[in-house]
Amino acid sequence: MRTAIFPGSFDPVTNGHLDVIRRAAPLFDALVVAVLVNADKRGSFPVQQREEMLRRVTADLPNVRVENFSGLLVAFAGRCGAQVILRGLRGVEDFGYEGQMAQLNRGMSPGVQTLFMLTAPEYAHISSSRVREIAVLGGDIAPLVPVALRAEISATLRPQGR
């Protein structure tokens, strides 16, 4: 059983994340999208809402499941029986941080391989933080997030159209 985990904050999930998930899912028997519960950073969306949004947009992918985790990523990978940690790369600017994390995780758990998937160019400029900034200011997030989640994301970040 080849299992990969795709960890992140997903605060909220964007078209960039979903593109990676859709392209990676057929490469593994199981893909676990893992929402990090960070005790130091509450985030804009509660973890449960982030998970629910991810489940809605991946419902048609039978080998994808959504979970949350806290603590060390390699420990969670071990609990999942995952051999692969999948991360998305938008460009060279992501590489410094991602490379460092991959080396540290390799040191702690040499049996788990970090694989990088390069973003599709049309999503390379998208990040959850930009989505949040634009939505709070009442901008149009339609090109940035899955259609099914547009209304929910806008309403959560801009209650009563403030």
Residues at the contact surface with ligand ADP, assessed by CB under 6 A: 8-10, 14, 16-17, 20, 87-88, 90, 94, 119, 123, 126-128
Please indicate whether residue 41 is annotated as part of the active site.
yes
Instruction: State how far the Cα of 130 lies from the Cα of 128, in Å rounded to an integer.
Output: 6
∠ at Cα 4 (67, 118), nearest 5°? 105
Which of 87/154 has CB closer to ligand ADP? 87
Chain residue at closest Cβ approach to ligand ADP: 16
Minimum distance from residue 154 beta carbon to ligand ADP (Å): 19
Residue closer to ligand ADP (CB basis): 87 or 132: 87
The answer to whether 90 is a known catalytic residue is: yes
Shortest reach from residue 122's CB to ligand ADP, in Å = 9
Instruction: Give least dist CB 104 to ligand ADP, A.
Output: 14
| 70 is known as an active-site residue | no
Q: Which of 23, 90, 106, 158 is catalytic?
A: 90
Q: How near is the Cβ of 66 to ligand ADP at its closest, in Å? A: 13
Smaller CB separation from ligand ADP, 147 or 161: 147
Q: Just list the catalytic residues.
A: 17, 41, 90, 128
